[in-house]
Amino acid sequence: MRVVLGVGGGIAAYKAAELVRQLEQRGHDVQVVMTRAAREFIQPLTFAALTGKKVITDLFSGENANDTLASAVEHIGVAQNHDVLVVAPATADLLAKFATGQADDFLTTLHLAFTGAVVLAPSMNTAMWEHPATQQNLETLRARGCFVIQPDEGWLACGTTGAGRFPDPERIAAEVDLLTEQKKDLAGESVLITAGPTQEALDPVRYISNRSSGKMGFALAEAAARRGARVTLVAGPVHLNAPPNVRLIPVRTAQEMRRAVLESLESATIIIKSAAVADYYLAEVPKQKLKKTATRLSLELDPTPDILAEIGEKKGDRLLIGFAAETDNLIGEARRKMAAKHCDMLVANLVNREGLGFDSDRNEVDIITGSGKTVHAGPADKKEVAEKILDQVAMLRLSLSTAETKS
């Protein structure tokens, strides 16, 4: 793959040198473009030595041209001759310029002229990262199809700890590989996924919840984004980073999850309900902490809203994929739930086996497809199971649209 690597003027610019090495080791041909600010942090010579090519730094000098690209309009030549534009580190400034379509140097002009895949690896101070302007720019860029790699959390050069750390170059190179190899069978789809548990308060400090880790839903979100879908992930309290290129809406309770799902329903074409939503909640949560006494404590719980059933009623021609976590009579219960909740597909798993399902990296599921047949997946890593589930979703989508075209 021909990769053009844009290096922005962030403190992590030096880490882009390791990224060049990682990309080259994976067989990619890399051309580096540096912003003026990037050259304050690292010399072009480092990249020239690593790539064996002159680094492009200036829109007008005419000195950039490599023999093969010699052209008065080099930014167009570079755009046409490369498959992927990776920007790492992508500064807050570059994100703003890309989002607003500015073109005042080589990299920003190249970005506008580039028609291939764009991968952004933002890196900055946590406050800059969390600033609504930056988040809005990212949202705009994601919506345009740019692939955003979530920065890591951890110690930052500015002496603080938080989100904004440049990801491991190996991870960025792996994402570039996955992105370029990935099938795009969910392109054009808008996928809404729920994940994780919910927490229902019992008093200001206590809650009831369940052992769902959210890993299955996060794996589905990550895979769906790679397969070209626009993904919104509504997640209960989990300890997981937002997958790349996924809009994450964090929620706590079943009521909050319902609200977030209904708000995002309009734009969704596929809904995957993998969250383990609490079935009961305490309607009147005491304002004071419950005191321990010697006597038995009884709490009267009310049923939470049945989000799956509600979407089943309102879904129209959207595809609805439900999950059923059972401890016995798996297929029987799954078929009953699928019919009762108007699901187009149902993913059923037994959750009482050690090392699989809840709170684990691995899963084994039976996928009850639209035609009623059962496809088994796993035991395998949840990322692999997610791909198998999405294979079935893409197949169902294809068969429905083929049927529509015929009728």
Judged by CB, which is closer to ligand FMN: 165, or 337?
165
Q: Assess contact for 106 and 98: CB atoms under 8 A.
A: no
263 sits in which H/E element: helix 254-265
Phi, psi of 67 (to 5 degrees): -50, -45
148 interacts with ligand FMN by CB under 6 A: no
Residue 329, token pair as written in the block: 């009579």
- Of 17, 26, 37, 208, which one interacts with ligand FMN (CB under 6 A)? 37
Phi, psi of 394 (to 5 degrees): -65, -40
Q: With CB under 6 A as the contact rule, which of the stretches 3-11, 53-61, 323-331, 364-372 interacts with ligand FMN?
A: 3-11
**Distances, alpha carbon 152 to alpha carbons 126, 185, 271, 362, in Å:** 10, 29, 28, 24
Q: With CB under 6 A as the contact rule, which of the stretches 2-10, 197-205, 248-256, 259-267 interacts with ligand FMN?
A: 2-10
Judged by CB, which is closer to ligand FMN: 108, or 360?
108
Judged by CB, which is closer to ligand FMN: 37, or 208?
37
Residue with tokens 């067989």: 27
387 interacts with ligand FMN by CB under 6 A: no
212 interacts with ligand FMN by CB under 6 A: no
Identify which of 256, 139, 151, 167 has the alpha carbon closest to the alpha carbon of residue 207.
256
109 interacts with ligand FMN by CB under 6 A: no
Describe the crossing of helices 15-25 and 169-181 by its angle, rounded to 10 degrees. Answer: 40
In whole angstroms, how close is the CB of 217 to ligand FMN at the nearest point? Answer: 31
35 interacts with ligand FMN by CB under 6 A: yes
Judged by CB, which is closer to ligand FMN: 75, or 215?
75
94 interacts with ligand FMN by CB under 6 A: yes
395 interacts with ligand FMN by CB under 6 A: no
Burial string for 77-87 (b: 16+ CB within 10 Å, else e) reads bbbeebebbbb
Q: Assess contact for 34 and 7: CB atoms under 8 A.
A: yes
In whole angstroms, how close is the CB of 45 to ligand FMN at the nearest point? Answer: 18
Active site residue 158: yes
Task: Name which of residues 279 to 298 contact ligand FMN (CB under 6 A).
Answer: none
The amino acid occupying position 335 is: R
Task: Name which of residues 116 to 135 contact ligand FMN (CB under 6 A).
Answer: 123-124, 128
d(CA 75, CA 34): 13
Task: For residue 222, count CB atoms less than 10 angstroms from its CB and return exposed for 0-12, middle for 13-18, buried for 19 or more.
Answer: buried
Judged by CB, which is closer to ligand FMN: 137, or 264?
137
Number of residues counted as binding ligand FMN (CB under 6 A):
15
In whole angstroms, how close is the CB of 46 to ligand FMN at the nearest point? Answer: 16
19 interacts with ligand FMN by CB under 6 A: no
Q: With CB under 6 A as the contact rule, which of the stretches 5-13, 262-270, 311-319, 357-365 interacts with ligand FMN?
A: 5-13
307 interacts with ligand FMN by CB under 6 A: no
In whole angstroms, how close is the CB of 36 to ligand FMN at the nearest point? Answer: 6
**Distances, alpha carbon 47 to alpha carbons 88, 191, 214, in Å:** 13, 39, 40
Identify which of 47, 43, 76, 46 has the alpha carbon closest to the alpha carbon of residue 59.
76
What is the distance between the terminal CA atoms of the chain, rounded to a whole angstrom?
41
17, 65, 103, 158: the catalytic one is 158
Judged by CB, which is closer to ligand FMN: 111, or 226?
111
In whole angstroms, how close is the CB of 10 to ligand FMN at the nearest point? Answer: 3
Q: With CB under 6 A as the contact rule, which of the stretches 89-97, 292-300, 336-344, 361-369 interacts with ligand FMN?
A: 89-97
Burial string for 44-60 (b: 16+ CB within 10 Å, else e) reads bebbeebbebbbbbebe
- Of 5, 38, 223, 338, which one interacts with ligand FMN (CB under 6 A)? 38
Q: Which residues bind ligand FMN (CB under 6 A)?
A: 8-12, 35, 37-38, 91-94, 123-124, 128
Which residue numbers are catalytic? 158
